[in-house]
Structure 1
Amino acid sequence: MSAQPIYERNRIEAERGPHRRIVVIGGGISGLSSAWFVQEKARERGMPISLTLLEGSPRLGGVICAERRDGCLLECGPDSIVTQKPAGLDLCHRLGLEDQLYFPETNGGLQILRGGAPYPLPEGLRFGVATKIRPLLASPLFSMPGKVRMLCEPWIGTRKGGEEESVAQLIRRRLGHEVLERVIEPIMAGIFLTDAESLSARRVAPQLVALETRYGSLVRGLTEAGREGPPRPGTGKPPAPMVAALRGGSGTLVRRLSDRLEGRVCCNTPVVELAFDSVAARWRVATAAGHHHEADAVLIAGPAHRAAAWFPREDPLAAQLRGIRYASCTTLNLIYRRDQLANVAPINGFFVPASEGLSFFACTYVHHKFPFRVPADKAVFRVFLRNGLAGAPRLDLGEWVDRVHGDLAPILQARGMPLDACITRFPWAMPRQEVGLTARLAQVQALANQRPGLFLAGGCAGVVGLPDCITSGERAAAGALDFLAAKAEAADRGFAAAGSALAANRTEIEAR
């Protein structure tokens, strides 16, 4: 029996061994999603991989965390999943979590605090745009001059090009200052933790930008979209609720993802350096403990400022990553007995304009929105504190409880202090979706594309919210596997070429 050619043995050894090594850095929802999608898509392709996930903190989940107090489940980070973007629900279905999904009722709709009392937005008001006149005129949220200004929107001229516009500029120009101050600003602050003056309209309200471009008016655009949008009877499903929640809390998703991962998951393993070995054509990931992980592909799913520190300071990619600014967030959960409260409206919560002068900009009635998380004799209010905004005071837990209770007590007609409280601080909660971020992210991606086998997700990709983080993880996973498949194909071509050359050389020698 003739000896097996060396090039063929090398090819078989490469296929048998863990030559497709993938390291995911970051154990938040973006990193967990990236790792899970790598695993599943590699299985679908029949591609053998060796997967390692590195997380610097003691636990997985990032900003997804919760505490149990007095029989209540207190979410400290994201408490639900937006349904308008399908990635979150799709992942829950793929993980077999359908039976744990809960769709909150929309009793009371979206509420805005005005004069110390929450009021619903008038019917037909979408993105601050009035599509129905009578409900707007009857609403106590706006003055008569403010209502007239809003109704004049169809006659406002369109913007002709120019620099990227902020949400505040867009709303003020088309609808006036009052709707910005009383509706848009508090909602934007509650969702994106950034004031509307710096938020990019293109990033957080692309539908409004598109409506003005296409129709020349937000009112005309929403009216036309409303006619086109709802499905005709018998042709589609009714619109889904705006959010869904997992009955066991958002941490259920983290636990299910981590349980399904088949590779190595290493917590308490902060990365300190990331370097590419051009000779071996592999990445070298160094950790604080002095260990090194070699990888054919690396998926960075941690915060941008941390990733920047893994490259040399003069590296252009590091400079661009450092330029992605982050917003901070602090949540405070307050637990009351029901009999302490004389006025507990059946609403999901309310947003607070800055002009109201309160210590927080949003409040969720957890016991109503998620009744299975709170005993029947308790009421839980989750507020988003203004301490993440510029000029906010630095207070400890007791001081925040006193201040927030003082603001909530008149609204709820509360007697006595709360039974318990839980405060959670996220100094780097999410990338600010501000003007200029899109251009910066394009530079970040262009620089990353120059590094073979490097892929970005989550904060490094500038995304916020569970669905977008999950989508970015799936996209990074697909890109990494495409890269590895192309690399393997190139190696196969190299093996084949080497085999042909050896065979030709052997034939020539034998002929001699």
Structure 2
Amino acid sequence: MIDVTEQKRRVAVIGGGITGLTAAFYLQQQAKDQKLPLEIVLIEATHRLGGKIQTLRKDNLIIERGPDSFLDQERVIEELAKQLGMEDQIISKVPGKTYVAINKQLSPIPDGSILGIPTEIIPFAKSDIISWSGKVRAACDLLLPPSNVKEDQSLGGFLRKRFGEEVVENLIEPVVSGVYSGDIDQLSLHETLPNLAEACLKHRSVIRGIQKENSQLKEGTLESTSRTFKHGLESLIFALEKSLEMAVIYKGVRVESISKVQDKIILLLNNQNSIPVDGVIVATPHHVATKLFRHEGLLKSLLDIPVKTVAAVSMIFSDSAIKKKFDGDGFVVSRNSDYSITACSLTHRKWPHAIPEDCAVLKSYVGRSGDESIVELSDNEIEKVVLQDLQGMLKIDEKPINTIVSRFKDSMPQYTIGHWKRVEQAKKELHAAYPTIRLAGNSYEGISLNDCIVQGEKAATEVLASIFQTELYL
């Protein structure tokens, strides 16, 4: 039995993206389950909730401006959807092939590839993406001694040691960069793909480790297990917002700073009002979080986390626009190609429920690491660049019926070498100064929707424990 005093406590969640919303949801769930006297305040600086998740519905089209699907091997989103009563709305992608564009050629990624890493000999041997010398070099992963993976290192450096330059540049890098939107030579092995390091250490080779380990990397390729919600990802956002009957939600209000007065935490808002609270979950990007504590000099280590700017460009064509014989549902682009786009998804093939039969929708991404200036162009200029690339690759012979350009400025945190130490240092400093404040979001412990949801739930649990620990007993 849990007993608490009748005095209500207030927890503020700063940031109304998927992390903040799920944090508020789990605060509410746990408060109900444990009968805790709790008030929840959710504060979002923009006039809408959901962050990068935004679904456009128009003329029987469902188009995602941001992320369009999720992987859910650990059933994190499925469990959340079940609690929200919308698990029956989850649907899976239609199976299809992913290609890689090298120069002017589109070639299918070999069957059995996991994150571009070949794990089946025959499909890899038959592939025209890699020369025979490159294939032989990649096979050396089976013969080389285990790499030293105890110390953190660049993901690109590790992969090149195991597979050689050609396979990394033409196959692995385009796939991995599509996931993390970054430079693999700057990204941390331990923070992005720790399973690769573990597989190499345990089984001597990465290939053999993936083949033998029943890990997430073995569950399937990036696309084969992709899922979404029937009416778009934003339906999850709407369901979360609707469920928060215990929360007061402020939109279009920004927290300027956080300070402490006696036993209360004070949130100063941009409208000159202030809110006293007992605990806080900061679910904003890290560069926003640092500004909240600038008067105390906290979280400085987070300033060393780089961010990247990208844009998603969805083009709507008639169903006859693609003249090239192409049976794939998307492709990634090698750095060795003379194209500006980094990847393209044929939405109408992956998610036919979302697109009328007489339409084709191509969602392309621009903003390659080291070449992000394209995102600063006007919508018309970006459309011209992307259309030119698609004309070269898919032989499209008409202009789009409509184009939706979505920019995500400084929104993709890069998990470079030393990321974990930076985050741990910031959290340690914050906990010493404010024991009832937690950080959560894609800047810290994972960039996927699943990772953000897990962080939101964890932050909710920890904040409630820190507030009520002197008043709870079993």
TM-score (norm 2): 0.93
Of 174-183 and 61-70, deviating more is 61-70
Query: 1:197-255 CA deviation, whole Å, 9 max, x = no partner?
Result: 11111111111100111122112222322699999xxxxxxxx9521111111100100
1:321 aligns with 2:309: no
Provide the rounded CA distance (Å) in 2 between the counterparts of 1:285 and 1:211: 46
For 2:74 and 2:51, the matched residues in 1 are separated by 21
- Residues of 2 paired with 1:435 and 1:100: CA distance? 39
Q: Larger radius of gyration, structure 1 or 2?
A: 1
Go from structure 1 to structure 2 and tell me whether the alpha carbon gap of 1:472 and 1:212 turns closer, same or farther (over 3 Å shift): same
Q: Which residue of 1 aligns with 2:12?
A: 23
In structure 2, give the amino acid aligned to 1:181. Answer: E
After the TM superposition, which residues 348-497 of structure 1 pair with which residues of structure 2 at under 5 Å, given as runs? 348-386=329-367, 389-390=370-371, 392-393=373-374, 394-450=376-432, 451-459=434-442, 461-489=444-472
Q: Structure 2 vs 1, CA of residues 157 and 128 (structure 1 numbering), >3 Å: closer, same or farther?
A: farther
Q: 1:96 aligns with which of 85, 90, 105?
A: 85
Where do 1:61-210 residues align within 5 Å?
A: 61-108=50-97, 110-160=98-148, 163-210=151-198
For residues 334 and 39 of structure 1, what CA distance do their matches in structure 2 show?
40
Corresponding position: 1:255 with 2:244: no
- Post-superposition offset of 1:116: 2.6
Percent identity reads 27
Question: Unpaired runs of 5+ in structure 1?
Answer: 1-11, 232-239, 491-512
Residue correspondences, number: 466
What are structure 2's unaligned runs of at least 5 residues?
Answer: none
The residue type paired with residue 81 of structure 1 is F
Aligned residues of 1:300 and 1:460 also touching (Cα < 8 A): no
Residue 36 of structure 1 aligns to a residue in which SS? helix
Alpha-carbon distance in 1 for matches of 2:417, 2:217: 30
2:399 maps to a residue whose letter is M
User: CA offsets, 1:140-168, max 9 Å, x none?
Assistant: 11011100101111221223367421110
* Residue 445 of structure 1: how far off its partner (Å): 1.7
Q: Deviations over 1:278-312 (max 9, x none)?
A: x2x12111100011111111110011111111113
With the length of structure 1 as denominator, give the TM-score of the two structures: 0.86
* Aligned match of 1:42: 31
CA distance in structure 1 between the partners assigned to 2:400 and 2:238 by the alignment: 31
Deviates more, 1:436-445 or 1:250-259: 436-445
The CA distance in 1 between the partners of 2:217 and 2:192, in whole Å, is 20
Q: Please give the per-residue CA displacement for 1:2-25, whole angstroms capped at 9, x wherever unaligned.
A: xxxxxxxxxx9x94442x111110
Measure, in 1, the Cα distance between the counterparts of 2:177 and 2:345: 14
Does the aligned pair in 2 maintain the 1:301–1:460 contact within 8 Å?
Answer: no
How far does residue 414 in structure 1 lie from its aligned partner after superposition?
Answer: 1.5
Distance 1:106 1:216, change over 3 A: same
Matched, 1:51 2:28: no
Letter in 1 for 2:123: P
Letter in 1 for 2:275: H
SS, match of residue 252 in structure 2: coil
1:129/1:150 contact within 8 Å kept: no
* 1:400/1:114 CA distance change after superposition, 3 Å: same
Aligned-pair Cα RMSD in Å: 2.4
The question of whether the paired residues in 2 share the 8 Å contact of 1:337 and 1:379 is answered with yes
Structure with bigger helix share is 1
